[in-house]
Structure 1
Amino acid sequence: MADTPSKRTSRLADLAPSRHPWPWGLAAALGLLLVLTFALFALVEPLEPQGEPLTATPAFAADLDGWQKVGDHGRFETDALGGLRMSNDEPGTVVLVRRRLAVPEGATVLRASARVTAEAIVDGPEPWDAARLVLLGLDEHGQGVYDRPHVFASPKGDRSAYEVERDFTMVGRVHDLLLVVELRNATGTITVDDLLIQPMREGAFFGTAHEAIEISWGVWFLFLAFGLMRGVTHWSGRLALLATGATMAVALMLPGEVRTLVVLALEGPLAMSPLAPDDLAHFVMFAGLALVLRLARPNDPLWVQAVGLSATAALTEVVQLFAVERGPSVADWVYDTTGIVLGLLLYETVRRLHATLRPERT
């Protein structure tokens, strides 16, 4: 029998915001946050120059004044425009020039640009054996910050020429910058022109808006967690949800440098895994969240939890815009959603198997 107009009106009234203010309020706040977030990153310039550039034009004087040369067997040439042409014909040797530059106080980002040309580049056997432009942040003791260089450019092949510009976020206290042009156990010729390193800092308006919206996202996720808790009656379920959410929040906002160190530390123990450590982490975390949520709220429709968790995974990718050297990734969302689906299917399989094997009570 078809619903009468009065019945349909009654069902629509049951969904009115006056009857369910919590989800409607969360949805409205989410829409506003999404608009503000995309407007901030699309319309507001985040960086402004901090002081003078660290390198002058021309960057390389006729005698490489201020640069330290390594490798007597290599060939070093400079042109009238201040470009550097460096060659190496001996495999297994290192040819490089490097210069130490002071980073001004308050600079949080380095914007590096150059025109790079490469000829007959043949890399060595190791991943770090290559023609490269490298930026390495140094602390006040001259030690590498995180001991991991930023590769500004790494040309390859018989012949290539391109303009490159990159921004590097300086995580930790960077006192000096070591700028290196190198042929490390690689042969061929690399030419660098128009080299410019400009310290940058976050714009005042962007910084204030960035922090305000980031805090708002945190508050929104707290209200979402509180809403989920309202439907959980047992304390152990609430504790499990809280612990899972807190763990995911920490992993979500890890700076890019720290995340890379964690991934490198896990590459050995997880060498036999079909997934990379960071992909496996996405898969496992959201599979675990799906299991915990299903255990804590078993009466929710399965499809509602699946869609809601997948949407939450997409929102966590958006929030990574606020993490240092992180950003949204469709691939990560796919791993998240795959973990969610398999986590929910695992719960349903175990539940039905338990119901089948459980002896009938008399």
Structure 2
Amino acid sequence: MSLFKIQCWFFILLAGATIASHTWITQFEQSGTELLTNHWQYKVFGNNRVDLTSTGFTLFSNNATAITSIYQNIPEVTPGTILLLSAKVKCNDVVAGEKPWNQARLLLLQVDEKKERWDLSTVVVALTGTHDWKNYQGIFTVSPETRSIRIIAQLSQATGSFQVNDIKLYPVRETRMFTMTRNITLSAWGVFFLLLTGSCLFNRKHSIFLRLLLVCTFISIIVGTTFPGDTKNQVSDEVKTHLHTQSEPLKATILWNLSKIWHFCSFLLLGLIIALMMTQESLGRVIFIIFSLAAGTELAQLYIEGRTPLVADFFIDAAGGIIGIILINIFYIRHNSDKPFY
């Protein structure tokens, strides 16, 4: 069996196993007692109100300039604890305000000694319009600086009604089966990525510069994929802040989404390099390398904390790689002959 066929079967089996295992294997199990009590506090303005029931509460708002909220503080949480917040949620005729966060929202907010940590992941669900009852849950890791947490349900400068029932908060831990499966799955994807890299690296004799550039590009893609969600967001925010500080015109004219830019540029560079190094290979094999790497890095994120595979990111990656291949073909045709690489 050829190396190309081995790669194809390896990818198909690994992708299927990754999706199946993540779907069927339970990730968390409860490791402590319920943390919420019946002692809720709330803030209302004007005719807005909060109705408490035996199973939950309902927020009503007809004032789009006010925030209607109900909250509960949980003191003395242990850093590093993994918390699961779940609830049944329903909303009716919720009209959003001007800001992206002006919706019906259920939040877990971490608070350190000085301030509320809105920079950390907070949202369990954010809704507008009308939605029937549905279960939602969010997983949160208590940061080292956190001293307390606050559970909040709010209509943040939005109108309508927001119902929350069976709200629960308790510590959890990963199941042994999930931990073992994650380690095996990520190791298998690592082997697959090495196989892809090797098939490009040793395809033919090429300059050391091209080989080093290929390795560096692969490494940058894999490192970017394996960043935990909080780390990725922190790095992105710091870079964005620096760029905005250094260039006010760019801040005003460009909607920066550094994650998407990184996705596209890294695969664009990869497409350029592979097109240069694999001129004797079929176009199908070159495209397979781009597509399988794009899909694999997204699927691997199922097992990386705080990351979510996105179809949009796959298409951005694939588009970057394909454009890189096209650019090399255009350059080759213009400077060498009328015959493209592939």
TM-score after normalising by structure 1: 0.76
Tell me if 1:108 matches 2:87.
no
Distance 1:39 1:133, change over 3 A: closer
Gaps of 5+ in 1: 1-16, 60-64, 358-362
Deviations 1:245-295 (A, max 9, x none): 111112222333444556663997487679965444333221210101222
Q: CA deviation at 1:38?
A: 3.7
Tell me if 1:78 matches 2:52.
yes
**Secondary structure at the counterpart of residue 125 of structure 1:** coil
Distance 1:282 1:97, change over 3 A: same
Q: CA deviation at 1:106?
A: 5.8
Is the 2:83–2:142 Cα contact (8 Å) retained in structure 1? no
Residue 211 (structure 1) aligns with: 183
Tell me if 1:131 matches 2:112.
no
Partner residue of 2:210 out of 237, 259, 264: 237
Is the 1:217–1:319 Cα contact (8 Å) retained in structure 2? yes
Is the 1:50–1:107 Cα contact (8 Å) retained in structure 2? no
**Stretch of structure 1 that moved more, 23-32 or 295-304:** 23-32
Partners of 1:286 and 1:23 lie apart in 2 by: 20
Partners of 2:149 and 2:199 lie apart in 1 by: 48
Distance 1:272 1:293, change over 3 A: farther
Distance 1:308 1:129, change over 3 A: closer
Partners of 2:264 and 2:63 lie apart in 1 by: 46
Residue 255 (structure 1) aligns with: 228
Partners of 2:67 and 2:292 lie apart in 1 by: 50
Is the 2:85–2:167 Cα contact (8 Å) retained in structure 1? no
Residue 298 (structure 1) aligns with: 279
Gaps of 5+ in 2: 245-249
Tell me if 1:170 matches 2:134.
no
Q: Which one has the largest radius of gyration?
A: 1
Partners of 2:283 and 2:60 lie apart in 1 by: 63
Residue 328 (structure 1) aligns with: 309
Distance 1:299 1:146, change over 3 A: farther
Partners of 1:214 and 1:239 lie apart in 2 by: 24
Residue 289 (structure 2) aligns with: 308
Partners of 2:176 and 2:147 lie apart in 1 by: 23
Tell me if 1:95 matches 2:68.
yes
**Secondary structure at the counterpart of residue 154 of structure 1:** strand
Is the 1:112–1:166 Cα contact (8 Å) retained in structure 2? yes
Partners of 2:216 and 2:251 lie apart in 1 by: 24
Partners of 1:68 and 1:299 lie apart in 2 by: 69
Distance 1:43 1:300, change over 3 A: same
Q: Percent identity?
A: 23
Considering only aligned residues, what root-mean-square deviation do their CA atoms show, in Å? Answer: 3.4
Distance 1:239 1:54, change over 3 A: same
**Secondary structure at the counterpart of residue 51 of structure 1:** coil
Question: Which amino acid is the alignment partner of residue 318 of structure 1?
Answer: L
Tell me if 1:152 matches 2:133.
no
Residue 247 (structure 2) aligns with: none
Partners of 2:210 and 2:142 lie apart in 1 by: 37
Q: How does 1:49-64 map to 2 (within 5 A)?
A: 49-56=30-37, 59=38
Distance 1:72 1:130, change over 3 A: same
Distance 1:184 1:42, change over 3 A: closer
Is the 1:114–1:196 Cα contact (8 Å) retained in structure 2? no
Question: Which amino acid is the alignment partner of residue 141 of structure 2?
Answer: M
Q: CA deviation at 1:182?
A: 2.0
